[in-house]
Structure 1
């Protein structure tokens, strides 16, 4: 089954039984980062090197690049509108993406769409798992890379980088005899992108930096509000 990196990431963030995302991670921003990185893996965008320390690197489309997935087509069109920083783009690309990706996974029979109310008052949408086989395959691939030290393919490497940026890598695999610290260290090494072409490394670096900043802000807000 062909899925987007963002779809695989969403499956990892959803609890299979409840269908809820029990995390302070800013899901829309992370999914926006996944979309941007997918465009880079497809060779559709690039992050030119900064020409000045006073300027932030901007993302731009690669001339003549084509993508087929409708969501990626829209995302590439957004990139082409004008030069934006990765931080601006991950927020813009992530808006409404969780619901759209979940709907696609429902159509494929992977998730179920449920609506109910908390305390009978507040509406809530959840997406519990119906068929976990694809997610299990994703977790096995991640375990091979993070625990068994297999070399990642571009998609798995990108997924690891996103999980590292949100400090979730050690939570989505069976660590075996490895400690959480060791898995985190392995995820950080992979996120540095030795497996990737330069254009992908640049996009990974810019996107994950934006995601890390957003995740830190969300965590601080959650702590101060508790």
Structure 2
């Protein structure tokens, strides 16, 4: 599949879905970085709102960066709670992530399963307790996302804005090293990931520039959250 067709496939989908797919490990059926996942998914939703023109940021000086709602309420049921929260009054980034993040994992997984990007199979934990296991879906979506990430991080290609945002969020969460089987981890890979975190990617259209600004704000917050979570 070409880059253009991948971008077309992504139209109308959530950045938060791509981030969750990137953090999914098909070999174990688990999600990497569960201890900071709520912040990462919350950040991805804020970036989705920014890209859609539904959220903006404001430097409030000593009070930090505040997130404002913009435009009309989004139709997407996974974006609406975040928009509702910041529409009440401007909110600091960390507060928004803490408020919206914990409720995102389950519905995002349900959507990915519904669209065939992930699967669920029944099995028994310890051979006794009935439970379900996540599996890679049959759409090839995750493989395409990982391939685009690898080409940007390892092969030195300039990422499209969507891929750059996924890399920045996954990197800031500390989750990139867990993908080492698919994206070889090295000092050069780490350096490139940090460059992308710091906005070293082409902005392109105005919507992409707005997303880039929001992603930079979020990644700064995620880095601090990740450090605290691992102490």
Query: Does the TM-score normalized on the shorter chain lie above 0.5?
Result: yes
Q: How does 1:107-186 map to 2 (within 5 A)?
A: 107-114=114-121, 118-119=125-126, 126-131=133-138, 133-172=140-179, 174-175=182-183, 180-186=186-192
How far apart are 1:66 and its partner, in Å?
A: 5.9
Residue 214 of structure 2: which of 199, 203, 208 is its match? 203
**Partners of 2:98 and 2:130 in 1: how far apart?**
24
CA shift for structure 1 position 123: 7.7
The one of 105, 109, 113 equivalent to 1:102 is 109
How many residue pairs match? The answer is 215
Structure 1 unmatched ranges of 5 or more = 221-226
Q: Report if the CA contact (8 A) 2:33-2:175 is conserved.
A: no
Decide which of 17, 20, 25 is 1:15's aligned counterpart: 25
Task: Let me know the Cα RMSD of the aligned residues.
Answer: 2.6
**Highest RCO, 1 vs 2 (Cα 8 Å, sep ≥ 6):** 1
Instruction: Check the 8 A contact 1:25/1:166 in 2, yes or no.
Output: no
- DSSP 3-state at the match of 1:113: strand
The reply on whether 1:38 has 2:48 as its aligned counterpart is yes
Report how far residue 126 of structure 1 moved.
Answer: 3.6
Relative to structure 2, which stretch is displaced further, 167-176 or 5-14?
167-176
TM-score (norm 1): 0.81
User: Which structure: greater strand fraction?
Assistant: 2
Q: Normalising to structure 2: TM-score of the pair?
A: 0.80
User: Is the Cα contact below 8 Å between 2:35 and 2:229 reproduced in 1?
Assistant: yes
Structure 2 spans left out of the alignment, 5+ residues:
1-8
